[in-house]
Amino acid sequence: MMHPESALVVGDDGLARPPWAATDPLLRDYYDTEWGLPVRDERGLFERLSLEAFQSGLSWATILRKRPAFRAAFDNFDPDVVAGYGAADVDRLMADAGIVRNLAKVRATIGNAAATVRLRERGGLVTLIWSFQPDHTPAPRHLHEIPTTSPESVALAKTLRREGFSFVGPTTMFALMEAVGIVDTHLVGSHRRGSSGVWPG
């Protein structure tokens, strides 16, 4: 049932969600339990950064279904381990049907792991990414009101590229900021709006 004043869909449990999270059980569970909650650990942020890069050009549902295989293939996204991958690991990953076999993205993930390790000397990945939290967060009622970039995501992308990261464009970084709670783009009226503890409902 569509919510009368917004794009929200009210489920059989009486909870309002956006259409993308209203039908597929996997996406619904991800929306209800994970999306938009703060991620403040290095491994967790490196994983999200990596998966957002692999998602580019694909649906998030595809990535989410493959996430267990990604975690197995990339040693649970341990930056120290991934940073040490060599040619044999690239070949192994490109032969793994469980993940997205894109050579540029595989190599970017390995390079981004090395960049993550180097960043520790200057406060680390978590401090850097969270330093781009804006002063205000959007309050969308309809899907078309949700931005796809922001001044902060543009600046974050530029900074990460300067630090040696790749596949970190402004749109991808805004999606990351949404996913890890740096901004709250839950639609107003959603049962998840304000649930991160970072922003009021």
Q: Would you list the DSSP string of 185-199?
A: -PPTT-TTTTTTSSS
Known catalytic membership, residue 60: yes
Distance CA 180, CA 130 (A): 10
- The active-site residue, picked from 20, 30, 145, 163, is 30
- The active-site residue, picked from 20, 60, 145, 163, is 60
Tokens of 71: 């975690």
Distance CA 134, CA 127 (A): 14
Residue 120: count of CB within 10 angstroms of its CB? 12
- The active-site residue, picked from 31, 35, 42, 52, is 52
Distance CA 200, CA 32 (A): 17
Tell me whether residue 180 is exposed, middle or buried, using C-beta atoms within 10 angstroms of its C-beta: 0 to 12, 13 to 18, 19 or more: buried
How far is CA 155 from each of CA 132, 147, 151, rounded to the nearest angstrom? 8, 15, 6
Q: List active site positions.
A: 30, 52, 60
